[in-house]
Amino acid sequence: MICPRCDDQRAAKIFDSPESGAWEIYRCPRCFFTWRSTEEDRVTRPELYDADFKLSEAKIREMIPKPPIVPPEGAASKPRY
């Protein structure tokens, strides 16, 4: 299964509907996009997914939370004379 958002080929089914065969849910291990098999083609098919919302490896890397830069311990609490 190919992820519609980032084109990763490792997307896989993670859930079946309680009523057998009604729908399935898939998830991408790279961008964590999750979709249901019954959604519109523009959501489930990579070639029809809105290009403005596609993710590349570089874009995903940029989205990783970055911790704030913390000044050396005590630097902020020492008075500056």
The verdict on 28 binding Zn ion (CB under 5 A) reads yes
The verdict on 49 binding Zn ion (CB under 5 A) reads no
Nearer to Zn ion, 30 or 36 (CB): 30
Q: Which stretch binds Zn ion (CB under 5 A): 3-11, 14-22, 40-48, 68-76?
A: 3-11
Interface with Zn ion (CB under 5 A), residue from 1, 2, 3, 17: 3
C-alpha–C-alpha distance, residues 4 and 33, integer Å: 8
Q: Which two tokens stand for residue 59?
A: 């874009």
Residue corresponding to tokens 């991408």 = 28
Q: Which strand (E) or helix (H) includes residue 70?
A: none
